[in-house]
């Protein structure tokens, strides 16, 4: 089985910081450049699972890189280059303290709120008599706070502006970018026989200008349905076929784990890890429409470090 990179611990020239998220190791260089290493770690129910998934980091990084390139005419983004299949290098920006979530369909969190009886989400009124996975009359923007710990929380446009998290003028620009990016992502998904159901965007500010940061349109940040069976499944009130890591969550549930206290993460056999790896590769090929090229060159961590050092020497 191919090597899975679950941790990096580089000491890079000019390094001024390091942050480890659930999936990404992010290095700051000279307080101006970020090097985002997308590892093979995988999380579910806000828990990082004990084993990595070979090629998962490459899949997510290359999908995000493709969509950053495909949307830079809409809004400038943080990306400078992708020096390694698992790495994106980009500009450091001051992040806005909200995430711009946009939803085209009533599913996931929005459906759970709706099913409980709520008829508004983040201050946006929702039509009566909708069913799960039904398309909204038009996409709705439902922002969340960016929690340092725990879960992000829904917040309305008015609350964001009133609290001074984002000025009204800049928030209006964030909304315009969000709708334009979602439209582009929707068109690209349609070309692949998919529906972009919902996603989130993160923005930052660099040299006084708004830029798009982080990942975009990956299965970890977005939900996709298969277009060819959408109407049939909606009419029959059965779950949609979707591209996401939901199958991993379902496996964990079937093995008695949902991230609750006193629950133990089940052991992940090699056969399951290989199955998850294959599913991520399938996601890549379905979303991008191109064959996945596995990057296996001996010690993957050494390869990543060498490629990063070569990139830094060229700057």
Question: For residue 197, is pLDDT > 60?
Answer: yes
- What pLDDT is attached to residue 148? 58
Domains of the chain: 15-94+253-313 (3.30.200.20), 95-242 (3.30.470.20)
Question: For residue 243, is pLDDT > 90?
Answer: no
| Nearest CA among 216, 212, 272 for reference residue 76 | 212
- What pLDDT is attached to residue 2? 81
Lowest mean pLDDT across 3-7, 61-65, 220-224, 297-301? 297-301
Percent of the chain clearing pLDDT 70 (strictly above): 98
- What pLDDT is attached to residue 190? 97
- What the block records as the tokens of 41 is 């770690």
Cβ atoms < 10 Å from Cβ of 238: 11
- What the block records as the tokens of 56 is 């998962």
- pLDDT, tens digit, 9 for 90 and up, residues 135-169: 999 999 999 998 655 567 899 999 999 999 999 99
Residue 252 CB burial class (10 angstroms; 0-12, 13-18, ≥19): buried
- What pLDDT is attached to residue 147? 65
- What pLDDT is attached to residue 315? 87
- pLDDT, tens digit, 9 for 90 and up, residues 12-63: 999 999 999 889 999 999 999 999 999 999 988 878 999 999 999 999 999 9
Percent of the chain clearing pLDDT 90 (strictly above): 85
Q: What size, in residues, is the chain?
A: 315
- pLDDT, tens digit, 9 for 90 and up, residues 96-108: 999 999 999 999 8
Q: Please tell me the distance from the alpha carbon of residue 19 to that of residue 25, in angstroms, as a whole number.
A: 6
Tell me the mean pLDDT in the region 214-232.
93
Residue 138 CB burial class (10 angstroms; 0-12, 13-18, ≥19): exposed
- pLDDT, tens digit, 9 for 90 and up, residues 106-128: 998 899 999 999 999 999 999 99
| Nearest CA among 61, 49, 19, 14 for reference residue 300 | 61
């Amino acid at each position: 089985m191919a090597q899975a990179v679950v941790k990096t611990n580089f000491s890079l020239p000019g390094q001024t910081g390091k942050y480890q998220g659930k999936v990404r190791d992010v290095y700051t260089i000279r307080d101006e450049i970020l090097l985002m290493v997308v590892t093979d770690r995988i999380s579910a129910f806000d828990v990082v699972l004990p084993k990595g998934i070979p090629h998962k980091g490459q899949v997510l990084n290359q999908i995000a890189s493709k969509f950053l390139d495909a949307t830079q005419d809409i809004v400038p983004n943080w990306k400078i280059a992708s020096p390694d299949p698992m790495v994106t290098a980009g500009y450091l920006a001051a992040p806005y303290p909200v995430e711009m979530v946009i939803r085209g369909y009533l599913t996931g969190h929005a459906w759970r709120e709706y099913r409980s009886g709520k008829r508004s989400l983040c201050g946006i009124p929702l039509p009566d008599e909708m069913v799960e996975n039904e398309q909204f009359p038009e996409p709705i923007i439902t922002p969340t706070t960016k929690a340092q710990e725990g879960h992000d929380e829904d917040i309305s446009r008015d609350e964001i502006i009133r609290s001074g998290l984002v000025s009204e003028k800049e928030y209006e620009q964030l909304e315009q970018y969000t709708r334009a990016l979602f439209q582009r992502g929707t068109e690209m998904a349609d070309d692949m026989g998919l529906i972009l159901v919902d996603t989130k965007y993160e923005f930052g500010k660099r040299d006084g200008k708004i830029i798009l940061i982080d990942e975009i349109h990956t299965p970890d940040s977005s939900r996709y349905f298969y277009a060819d069976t959408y109407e049939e499944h909606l009419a029959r009130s059965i779950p949609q076929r979707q591209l996401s890591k939901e199958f991993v969550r379902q496996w964990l549930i079937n093995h008695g784990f949902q991230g609750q206290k006193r629950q133990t993460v089940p052991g992940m056999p090699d056969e399951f890890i290989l199955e998850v790896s294959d599913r991520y590769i399938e996601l890549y090929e379905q979303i991008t429409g191109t064959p996945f090229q596995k990057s296996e060159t001996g010690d993957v961590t050494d390869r990543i470090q060498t490629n990063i050092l070569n990139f830094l020497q060229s700057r």
